Each structure stands twice: as C-alpha cells, then as structure tokens.
Amino acid sequence: MTPGLMQPVPLQTSAILRYAATAHPRREIVSRQIDAPLWRYDYAALERRAARVANLLATLGVSPGERVSSLGWNTHRHLELFYGVSGAGVVLHTANPRLFDEQVAYTINHAESAVLFFEKNLAALVERIAPRLTTVKTFIVLSDEVPHEAGALDVLSYERLIAAESDGFDWPSFDENAGAFLCYTSGTTGDPKGVLYSHRAIVLHAMGAGLNSAFGFTAFDVVMPCPSLYHATAWGLPFVAPLCGAKLVLPGDKMDGASLHELIEGEGVTFTGGVPTIWTMYLAYLEQTGQATRTLKRVMIGGSAVPRAMAETFKRKYGVDVLQIWGMTETCPLGVIASPTPALAERGEEAMQEVIWTRQGRLQFGVELRTVDDDGADTPRDGETPGALKVRGPWTVQRYYRQPADAVDAEGWFDTGDIATLDADGFMRITDRAKDVIKSGGEWISSIDLENVAVGCPGVKIAAVIGVPHPKWEERPLLVIEPHQGEVVSAAAVLDYLAPRIAKWWMPEEVVFAEVPLTATGKIDKKALRQVVTQASGKTPG
Amino acid sequence: MTPGLMQPVPLQTSAILRYAATAHPRREIVSRQIDAPLWRYDYAALERRAARVANLLATLGVSPGERVSSLGWNTHRHLELFYGVSGAGVVLHTANPRLFDEQVAYTINHAESAVLFFEKNLAALVERIAPRLTTVKTFIVLSDEVPHEAGALDVLSYERLIAAESDGFDWPSFDENAGAFLCYTSGTTGDPKGVLYSHRAIVLHAMGAGLNSAFGFTAFDVVMPCPSLYHATAWGLPFVAPLCGAKLVLPGDKMDGASLHELIEGEGVTFTGGVPTIWTMYLAYLEQTGQATRTLKRVMIGGSAVPRAMAETFKRKYGVDVLQIWGMTETCPLGVIASPTPALAERGEEAMQEVIWTRQGRLQFGVELRTVDDDGADTPRDGETPGALKVRGPWTVQRYYRQPADAVDAEGWFDTGDIATLDADGFMRITDRAKDVIKSGGEWISSIDLENVAVGCPGVKIAAVIGVPHPKWEERPLLVIEPHQGEVVSAAAVLDYLAPRIAKWWMPEEVVFAEVPLTATGKIDKKALRQVVTQASGKTPG
C-alpha cells in the first residue's frame, strides 16, 4: 500500500475537552449536588478543573496506563474525573454502586485501582467494602469535606486536594488505542466482565453518535444524561454533548419525576435519555401534577424495550419524540437508534411511528450488524426471520479485560447474545435473549414478544415467559404473571386475552402467578425466575 | 499505557459505501450526463457498479497502493471511481482538467498512474497531453462509446469494460492510513503539489463534516455538490451525503444558472455548495427569470470570501442560509464553517448574521487553529490581531506527495500561508494571504479587506490590491480596478468612496485601471497582476 500523508494526530478524550473549552468556552454545565444548591460552570472551567485532577494523579503517583476507580453519580465532579483521569492517560474504572458489595469490590480489585473516588452519600458502601479492597491505597470523597460515616478510613477531600493543584495541564498526546474507561457488565451469571474502552473508540463513538442519524445535537441543545455515568459512560452523552457544544445538565442521583421535571423546565432541557423505569416515573409525575414540558423535544430510551404506551404518551400528549436505542456495555454503547427516513415517511406518519416504536432502532455508521442461524449462515433481512445478533465495528469489544482470549469469532464479529430480526429499512428488532428463546417443535418462540402482549392484559403488572421442557415439542412457554397490587387476575382471563393476539402454537403451556424477580438494572431476572418456578412447582425449566 | 480492547476495525471509504448500500439502499443518486438524459440509481446500485470498477482494476493488473488518474466531472461514473478505486486499495488521482496542459500531464506523471479515466468531452485534452504521459498504459473513456476525437489513441470504453466484470466484490480490510485520494494543489508558483489523503482522513473528515456544527445532513437532505470532484473530493460531499443517507444530485459539468435551477427544483435539492462565481450566476439567473427556489435551504460557499451582498440576497430574498466555509486541499478541505451558536443568537438575528457573514467560519472538532506573529508567539484571540494561520488535525496534510520533508513545524502545525484573526466566539477571519499582506510602517494592511470595500464602489467589477515599495513606509497599497463592462469609473470617485470607509493610512497610494488576471479557480492571480502592473507602469511591486 502507499501510505497516506496526513497528520498522525491521535483521537483522544482530551481533544473533545479542549475543543469544547476553545469553541464553546461559555456554554454551561449544571450539576445537581448532594445536599447543596445546583452547581454551575462552563466548558472552559471544566477544562481547568479537569487539569487539576490530572495534576493530582501525578501528585498521588498514579502513572499513565494505571487504573483508578470511581463510585460516582451524574455530577460535575464525576465528569471532571472522566476528562481529568482519561486525559492524563490513566484509565477510569467507573464502578457500579448498585451492584452487590462483593461485585463492587471484585471489579475494583480486578481493575487493580490504587485510588477510589466516591460520592459522600456512598461512604457507607465504601466502608463496608474497604476491608476487601486489595489494591486501593487512597480514598477520596467527591466533596469539600470528609464524611463522618467513613471515619474508620483515611479519607481525603477531593476539593481540598485539587485546590492545591495547578489548573494548567499540558494534555499529553499518546496512542489512541490506549485504554480510557473500564466498565464492567452486570451480567447475572458469573463475575462481572470488564470492557476497556480505548480513546479511539470513545472519540469515534462520540462523532458517530453526534450525527443526525443518532443523537444529532446542535449547539442549541440542552442535554441531560439520566443513564448513569457508570453505565457505558452514560451512553456517551458526556462526550457527544461537548463535541456539539450542547449545554450539559447533570441530575446527580435524583431521578424521581419531580427532580427531573425541575431540571428539565428550569434549565431548558431539550434532550434527555435513560431506562424506561425513569420515564414511567416522570410521566406519572406529569400526570399527577397536571403539568407539561415546555422545552423537552426528544427522549432517548434504552436498556430495555420501550413500552408502546410510553412512546405514544410522550408523543401525543406532550409532543416529545421518543428515540429507541439499543446497545450494550460491549458497544460503547451505541448499536442502533431509531430515526426517521424518507422511505419510512412516504408511508405516512402513523406507519412510520409504528416502525419506530416497535423496533430497537436503525443501522448506524460504525456499527455493522448481522443475524445468523444455528449454522452460522446469514438469515434474510426480511424483518421476520430471527437470528443470533452479531456486531462489528471500531467501538465494539474485541476482548474482555484480563481475559486470555478474544470475545469475537474468526471474522471479528461479537455475539451479542440477543436474538433479533433485521429488515430492508435497516431496522433491527430484538426478539429475545439467546438463552431465553423457546425452541418449540423446531421453531423459535420469542419470550419478549409473548411478554409484550401479555403485559397488556388488564391487571397485569409484569409478564415473564420461560421455557419448560416438553416431551413432544422439546420446549413450551410458561407464563409467569405478577398482577398489579390489589388486582385479581385469572389464568383463564390471561389465556382469553392472548388467544386472538398471538399464533396458536405460541399459547403458553401454563400460566402461574408469582412476584417476578428483577436484576439490579430493573430487567426480569430469568435465572432467578427459573429457580422460583422450579421450587414452587417442581418443574424443571429449560 | 494499558491498550484498550476494542475491535481494530479500520476506517475505510468502503465502510461508507457499504453503510449507505445497507442502511439507505433505495436512496437516490441523480447525475447529469454529457449529451444524455439524467442518470438515476441508488446507493445499492452504486455499490454494485463500484464493485465492477474494483474488479476491473484487478483485470487491468492494477495492484493496491498503485495510482490511477481521472479527468472527470461531477458525474455518477466519477463517483463510482471514488468508491471502486479507493475501496480496492488503489489510489485515485483526481486530475484537474482546468489546469494548463503541461500541469495536467505533470500531475499524472508525478502520480505514476497506469490508467487514465476521462469524460468523453475531455478527449481532446487527453489527446493533446497523451504524448507527454510517461506512465499511462490504459486510456478509458467514461462512456459507453469510444469518442472519435481520441481516434489516435487506443481508448477503451468504461461501460463495455465494467459490463464484463462481476458486480460482487469483497471489499478488503487494510491499514486505514493507506492512501485513498491524491489531489494536487493548483498553486500559482512552481509545480502543483500532491496531497495524499488517507482512508482514515477521508472517513474522519466525513464524520466531522456530518456533525451539525458543519454540514449536518439528515436522511431527508438532498445534496448537490457543485465544487468539482477533483477539488479536494468536492469538499467531502460524496462521502458525507451517503454517510448521512442523503440523496445525491451530481450536476455534471453544467454549472450555469439555468442548469442548476432545473436540478435544484426538479430534484428537491436542499443543500448545495461551491465557489462564489457559480452562485453569482445562479442569483443572476433567478433575478432575470423572476424565479425563486422552493426547496433549497442552505448554500455552502467557499474557495474565496463570500460577498456580503450575495449572502444577504440569498437570505432575505430567497430564504436560503449561506454557510461560509474555509479550507484548503491540504485540509481535506474542512477547516472552519459558519454555524450559529446560542452565544451569538443572544445578540439578536442582525448581529448574529453580521458575524456569520463576515467571518470564514467557526472552529470544528478535528481542526485545531492558531495564529502566530513573526516570532511564532500566539496572537490574542480578540478578533482584531492578525497572525499567520496554522492548522493541525487528523485530516490535515503532514507531507506533500513524494517530498523528502514534512510540511509541518516541530509541533506538528501546518502553515496555511493565510493571515487571519481568531475571536472569543471561535470564529476565524482571513485577512490576507501571507505573501499578499502589505507591511506599511510596521503595521499590516489587509489586501483582502481593502478589496472587499473597494468592490462596493459603483461600477467596480473587480478590485485587486498589491503592495508597492515605498521609501518611507516600506510598502504601500496599489489598487487595481476592473470596471463592469460599459461602466466608467474614475480614480477620484474610488478614493472618495473609500475615504469614509477605511482607516486613513490604508488609503491606496495609487488607483490604476486594468483587466485583473484570474487563476484557473477564479481567484485573483496576484502574481500575474504584479507582472501586469510592472509592465504597464514601470513600478516594482513588492
């Protein structure tokens, strides 16, 4: 090959910070603090405080390539760690405080972090896990004070430490493939697995997500990330917003409807995003208080499928567009996101919304998708035929942290563990987790599709489907119903409701009633559910 | 450093093609042909024909890394070369048919191209330069016939050749730093210099230009590139449009007002761009025929400064926003582009437009700018103090093709040869070419600013300023006026016009009248002008 002759300038998170500080120096960042008024500053000031963090790491003896951990909410100080730590060439492990104690400790030890930054209202957690932490030498509370609760530990104050550092730092240039962020998946089986995002992946993801096919921010947008900063870097929003010059509103750890509404209206939020649970609470708050939103234009929802009723309420009642997004920690996380196209628009508004609301999203540049059958052959892109979903691209994982082998196949594809369809319009729809799909008589029954129908039955709060062994059909679906509090639901009523709505061979073999166990992230915990059902009925789920 | 663990998927032009063909397969491409009806197909069909081109190169024995040249207009076949040639790992040298014959031949020989593709109405040019071409073995006319004019040469037909090839091609994966496009600058001094764009630079540029701070296309946009495909790849539009799923309208070589208007209205063009000359013709056409545009929303103008009156007419009379853009072949070409920000909008519509219309544009992610004084120290970003403009970033040139040394300084900055100011809003304004700035009494007089004022004087068609030596002040400005045809303009009238509009010490030492020579790209040819003035007056310009 003839090498090109363009500048070898690496893609680094510090380039995003320096760009925002130079091109949008006065654009505001607003952050909800714990027990304190809203914090306000701008991108120029963010760079200065991130510089103090970078200098602090040197003072603490942390070298480029080493890891430090955070237990932080969506706050400005956590954002400063995002840029200050990664900009200095150090890896930020964003630990997840919602995991079980032993898993939190496991991830920090696995990262071999020498420093742990934490929010002051997580001091009790830190004190509990401290005896198990094998590598942490320095504990720093993200506050100007040292909390009483951590009295047994030697805890330093973030504000006091960075006040002693210079606010100038010459952001170093280094290999863009260097690690920047370490995020662990919160899988329900086995130890959490670490995904080590490179600077290159973070920057390319931010550029790709900034396009109009995805988030499409302008400098006039006001962006409030509700996905946690420790969940795949809040879906990249802390990078995409400054890259586009958008104002950033950080909601801290207050995700209740009233707190979010206060920020949305008070700060003029135009774009926000998060898991469905948060938006259920937000819509309930608007409904109960009879309020509306004047400024909000788009809500990006992911983490689990968006309930149709939620999307319709946002659109029809409040004029807010819902963007479905699908991704994983392993994809940084942007995989697909729903956005309109002329081909869809030609079919009319109703038909277009139908597609957008019932699919996880559309293909994005930088994310190749394929679906394959049990033999590894591509399934047709007909919107009908499900296959195992594989993904490839510059912001998709190659290998889990400290694992000896790659997580991709010979052609470089990562198996998502999801079952999905692709269609001619470039939309992808998740039909199941691979381990949850029910293989009945050689055909696949989507547990998710069945649940989505069943949850519409009056009185049903949660519907969960698992496969149970069957002598003739190999597996058959078993439907577990958790009714709304105070509601009475019968198996016959559920079956009557399903009958006209699903294929006959999808009808559940049995309907049982139980409290449905959820994971730490609010998804149905099918592994735990299978145990519940086994213990209760003596059945052996597949 | 700890290496990140994301997939090593390279950034290649074939990724853009494959994305468009998969995610926007039916989105249309319309191309004006030479002596034939409009050509219509879509991104899926583009990929198939680009695949035929890639297969053809193998048939012709062209290997990855080698160069082939094109002499092509903005047509679908030239677009197919863009993707087919570069996708196969071969470098496409887009030769400029507007250069002098010897320069065209020089660039093709310098590129060492074995194949020359050319439009059928450029056959005469090819026949003229053929005897001088030292490396070209195969001549291919971009047509289904062999033109009579090239009878003396052994010319093959593009359509007949690709018809014999398969429309399937397994786009290879290779180092993203490999060369993709070779574009020569049309400098007025010395031999043209080649800039070898890497795949990485092309893709990053397309992603950066796709952001809302720059072109910001949606899948609903209809994009018509009027910059030539051989001028810095038509400013990247053939990559940004498919990346965003926009419809692409290629105007061939017909840039007159009537032809452009027909395409704009007929194809629903929402976004176009090119040099000011084209838009002068277009506005004159609308004016003369009393027509308006129903669909056009934005016109990107660059190559030289946008006349204020043009921007105002587009906006006030036709409701079209003018985006100024500045860049060079050496920057792929996006350097800066004007886009509104909340900080500007707060000052009101009038004030915002004033800034947008009088600056070359705003800082973009991926393009670092600095201005330095004669000692190399940064000049203040006050919008007032001019300095030598330097640029750095992943789509800026490092070294010219087949040159032994880098074109950047020790810190990696490329000196643009322009003099500019930067301001606190992130806007850049070109005040002069470094070699044209007039150094008078230790201060700099901007020849461009002086020209921009003088061209507003009634009857003046072109105003050009050069420096002439002065015993006391070192240099003083000399103003050359070319009046509109049939108009009478006096030196006294020009000086009277200037007096209230410029600083006293900027007043030209003398006003002379002459036809102003232009370069092949329509810019004032100051080198030739100095010769004209010298011969005419016996003066010795600086």
Read off the pLDDT of residues A393-432 as tens digits, 9 standing for 90 and up: 999 999 999 999 999 999 999 999 999 999 998 999 999 8
Enumerate the residues of chain A whose CB falls inside 8 A of the CB of residue B193: none
B458 and B411 fall within a common domain: no
Read off the pLDDT of residues B310-350 as tens digits, 9 standing for 90 and up: 999 999 999 999 999 999 999 999 999 998 999 999 999 99
B54 and B129 fall within a common domain: yes
Closest Cα in chain A, distance from residue B292 (Å) = 24
A425 and A464 fall within a common domain: no
Q: Which of B179, B198, B217 is the last residue of a domain?
A: B198
Read off the pLDDT of residues A80-104 as tens digits, 9 standing for 90 and up: 999 999 999 999 999 999 888 999 9
Which residues span the domain enclosing A288? 255-434
E-assigned strand segments in A62-147: 67-71, 91-94, 115-118, 138-141
Inspect the interface and report whether the beta carbons of B340 and A365 lie closer than 8 Å.
no
Read off the pLDDT of residues B261-272 as tens digits, 9 standing for 90 and up: 999 999 999 999
Which pairs with CB-CB distance under 8 Å and at least 24 residues apart come from B233-237? B233/B82, B233/B94, B233/B181, B233/B183, B233/B197, B233/B202, B233/B332, B234/B74, B235/B273, B235/B300, B235/B302, B235/B325, B235/B327, B235/B333, B235/B334, B236/B202, B236/B205, B236/B206, B236/B209, B236/B332, B236/B333, B236/B334, B237/B273
Q: What is the pLDDT of residue B521?
A: 65
Q: In whole angstroms, what is the distance from residue B65 CA to residue B62 CA?
A: 9
Q: What is the pLDDT of residue B229?
A: 97
Query: Above 90 in pLDDT, residue A470?
Result: no
- Residue B321 is which amino acid? D
Over chain A, what is the mean pLDDT? Answer: 93
B165 and B299 fall within a common domain: no
Given A23, A342, A401, which is nearest B220 (Cβ)? Answer: A342
Query: Above 90 in pLDDT, residue B494?
Result: yes
Which CATH number is B345's domain given?
A: 3.40.50.12780
Are B208 and B334 contacting, i.e. CB atoms less than 8 angstroms apart?
yes
Residue of B281, B17, B398 lying closest to B171 (CA atoms): B17
Q: What is the pLDDT of residue B542?
A: 46
A45 and A185 fall within a common domain: yes
Q: What is the pLDDT of residue B190?
A: 73
B393 and B482 fall within a common domain: no
B540: Cα within 13 Å, side-chain hemisphere: 4
Total CB pairs under 8 A between chain A and B: 243
Say if B243 falls within a structural domain.
no
Inspect the interface and report whether the beta carbons of B211 and A244 lie closer than 8 Å.
yes
Say if B126 falls within a structural domain.
yes
Q: What is the pLDDT of residue B537?
A: 62
Say if A209 falls within a structural domain.
no
Say if B231 falls within a structural domain.
no
Query: Above 60 in pLDDT, residue A300?
Result: yes
**Phi-psi domain of A443 (left: phi exceeds 0; alpha: psi -120 through 50; beta: other):** beta
Query: Above 60 in pLDDT, residue A542?
Result: no
Query: Above 80 in pLDDT, residue B535?
Result: no
Query: Above 50 in pLDDT, residue A137?
Result: yes
Say if B224 falls within a structural domain.
no
Task: Identify the residue with better confidence: A164 or B306.
Answer: A164
Q: Which of B198, B219, B238 is the last residue of a domain?
A: B198
Read off the pLDDT of residues B165-192 as tens digits, 9 standing for 90 and up: 999 999 999 999 999 999 998 755 578 9
Longest Cα pair distance anywhere in chain B, in angstroms? 73
Q: In whole angstroms, what is the distance from residue B447 CA to residue B437 CA?
A: 6
Among A1, A222, A408, the strongest candidate for a mutation testing the B interface, having the largest count of B CBs within 10 A, is: A1
Q: In whole angstroms, what is the distance from residue B31 CA to residue B74 CA?
A: 8
Q: Which of A393, A419, A434 is the last residue of a domain?
A: A434
A298 and A315 fall within a common domain: yes
Q: In whole angstroms, what is the distance from residue A181 CA to residue A426 CA?
A: 30
Which CATH number is A503's domain given?
A: 3.30.300.30
B190 and B74 fall within a common domain: yes
Enumerate the residues of chain A whose CB falls inside 8 A of the CB of residue B8: 177, 394, 398
**CA dihedral of B179, B181, B182, B185, whole degrees rounded to 10:** -130
Query: Above 80 in pLDDT, residue A12?
Result: yes
Among B7, B204, B359, the strongest candidate for a mutation testing the A interface, having the largest count of A CBs within 10 A, is: B7
- Interstrand relation of A427-433 and A414-422 (parallel, antiparallel or unpaired): antiparallel
Closest Cα in chain B, distance from residue A23 (Å) = 5
Q: What is the pLDDT of residue A540?
A: 55
Rg (chain B; Cα; Å): 24
Task: Identify the residue with better confidence: B2 or B19.
Answer: B19
> Is B444 an annotated catalytic residue?
yes
Surface of A (220-239) touching B: CB under 8 A: 220
B384 and B500 fall within a common domain: no
Say if B222 falls within a structural domain.
no
Task: Identify the residue with better confidence: A305 or B405.
Answer: B405
Query: Above 50 in pLDDT, residue A9?
Result: yes
Q: What is the pTM of this model?
A: 0.91
Number of H helices, E strands in chain B: 18, 25
Read off the pLDDT of residues A35-56 as tens digits, 9 standing for 90 and up: 889 999 999 999 999 999 999 9
Inspect the interface and report whether the beta carbons of B179 and A213 lie closer than 8 Å.
no
Inspect the interface and report whether the beta carbons of A6 and B175 lie closer than 8 Å.
no
Say if A248 falls within a structural domain.
no
Q: In whole angstroms, what is the distance from residue B113 CA to residue B182 CA?
A: 11
Q: What is the pLDDT of residue B539?
A: 53
Read off the pLDDT of residues B187-199 as tens digits, 9 standing for 90 and up: 555 789 999 999 9
Residue of B39, B226, B28, B52 lying closest to B140 (CA atoms): B52
> Is B519 an annotated catalytic residue?
no
A461 and A418 fall within a common domain: no
- Counting the structural domains of chain B, the total is 3
Q: What is the pLDDT of residue A445?
A: 87
Say if A2 falls within a structural domain.
no
A421: Cα within 13 Å, side-chain hemisphere: 17
Q: In whole angstroms, what is the distance from residue A237 CA to residue B151 CA?
A: 61
Sorted by sequence, the CB contacts under 8 Å of residue A452 that are 6+ apart come out as A305
The pair of structure tokens assigned to B242 is 């498919």
B179 and B116 fall within a common domain: yes
Count of beta carbons in the 10 Å neighbourhood of residue A121 = 18
Are B263 and B251 contacting, i.e. CB atoms less than 8 angstroms apart?
yes
Enumerate the residues of chain A whose CB falls inside 8 A of the CB of residue B171: none
B21 and B116 fall within a common domain: yes
Residue of B507, B528, B513 lying closest to B541 (CA atoms): B528
Query: Above 90 in pLDDT, residue B419?
Result: yes
Query: Above 90 in pLDDT, residue B34?
Result: no
Surface of A (37-66) touching B: CB under 8 A: 64-66
